[in-house]
Structures are given as C-alpha cells and as structure tokens.
Amino acid sequence: MRPGGIAHYCAPYLGALCLLNPALGRAAETSAAQAVHPERWPRLKPALPRDPDLESRIEALLARMTSAHKVGQLIQADIDSITPDDLAHCPLGSALNGGNSSPHGDKLAPPGEWLALADRFYDASLGAGGSSGIPLLWGTDAVHGHNNIPGVTIFPHNIGPGATRDPALIRRIDEITALEVRVTGLDWAFSPSAAVARDARWGRTYESRRTHSGAPLCRGDGGRAAGRARRRRPSVVSPPRWRPPPPRQGRRSIPSRD
C-alpha cells in the first residue's frame, strides 16, 4: 500500500479516537499551538554593519572551541564559590559578586584587592592550558553606585533620579559609577535599569525610574543617557576618594585621570 494510502486509511480512525477521547484532541491542538516556526520570527537589523574580518575571527574562534568551552561561556559563578585556579579545569565565561560576596570573604576589602583579584581571574582565563582565548568577564550590581566597595560614591536608587526628570543628571551619576567600576578592574555592571514598575506593592519599586507622581521618566531619554554614560569614557567626573595603586603594565592598568 502506498504511504498516501496508509494516511488515508488511518485518518478516520484517528478522528474517531479524538471524538471518543477529547483529551487526545486537546493534546493535538496544544502540540500544534506550541510548534516552533523560526521563519515567522522578526529579523533583527544590527546597529553596526557586518565586518568581514571580525566575522572570520569569530568563526575561527568558534571552530577551535570545545564543547566544554561553549558550555562554560553560558555559566556565571559567584566569586564565593570559584577561584582563579579553578579556571584551569572549569573554563567559565563570567563571574559575579552577588549579594555580599567580596574578595576572600572580606566585606571591607579595599579597591586594590578587588583589582588584584580581577587581574588574577583575567590572567587565569587566558593562561590556562587549552584556553579558548576569551577572557572571563566579572559582573557586579553597580546599579546606583559601586556600592560593594568601601569609600565609593553611593547615589539614590533609580526612583530618586527618575523623579528629577533630568537625563543630564542621570548621565553624570552613571559616569561616576562607570569610572569607579572601571578602576576596580570589573568589566560588567548589571545596569542601567530602565524598568518602569506599575504596582507600588512590588518590593523593588525603588529600582524603577518613576517620577513622584507615578509617571515614568521618559525611558528613551533617561535610559539612553544612562547607557551612554556606562559605555563611554567619562568626561567630567569626581575623582575617587581613595588613592589607587600605581599603574602597571598590562590590560588592567589604572586609567589616567586626564
């Protein structure tokens, strides 16, 4: 019997089963509704044009990465549970200091110790045997100042600057935060947050950029101002209150103030 004939022969029986057992029919409908159709997904237009040289470097990098390297890029470990030496057999993509994590468990560790540990993670991620050549990123919750470091500038939570409706002020706040994150050797701040909370009963409404009247600060102006401040070299900022260690050769030397 031809394959088409088999389907034609079985179809009435499958229909009868669905009528006798509605659950089968619902399961079939659910399965169809959950089907994935990649061709329907919107196509994104990158903000930057494709660079053929960069694309070839990426392809070469992916070609020499092992499965362990690729899986490791998706994992972010807390610095309380991993050390730079662990990267020799656990090639992770990133680390973070979450909650009250700090270098060597010292909550009062000075900025120089944060920089030293960041250097160790960076060097270990590139120097380990079989390294993929991708440096480890260190992320931190510097949302309203680099608040894990003693002596840095702490700013009001987002709801405060949002109430001012002043994008220039928000940009200056984020410039200062970006500089203080940078001089401690950390690569990634989990901010800015352009969230707009719609229910004050939510426990973290203070992280939302809202005005005192409840109307959101224009997310375009405020969010863009904060984002530009985080990405670019700060122009006019207040110097940190602490004296950084002397500049050293290498990737993570302390940036100059000029």
From residue 44, give the alpha-carbon distance in Å to each of 29, 97, 148, 179.
Answer: 30, 33, 37, 32
- Mark the ranges of the chain whose per-residue pLDDT is less than 50: 1-4, 6-11, 13-14, 16-18, 24, 211-213, 218-220, 233-258
| CATH code of residue 177 | 3.20.20.300
pLDDT (tens digit per residue) in 204-237: 888 887 544 455 554 445 555 555 555 554 433 3
Q: How far apart are the C-alpha atoms of 79 and 86, rounded to whole Å?
A: 11
Would you tell me how many other CB atoms lie within 10 Å of the CB of residue 19? 10
Amino acid 226: pLDDT: 58
Residue 241 covered by a domain? no
Residue 126 covered by a domain? yes
pTM for the whole thing? 0.66
Residue 63 covered by a domain? no
Is residue 107 located within the same domain as residue 183? yes
User: What's the number of domains the chain is made of?
Assistant: 2
Amino acid 2: pLDDT: 46
Residue 183 covered by a domain? yes
Residue 45 covered by a domain? no
Is residue 87 located within the same domain as residue 6? no
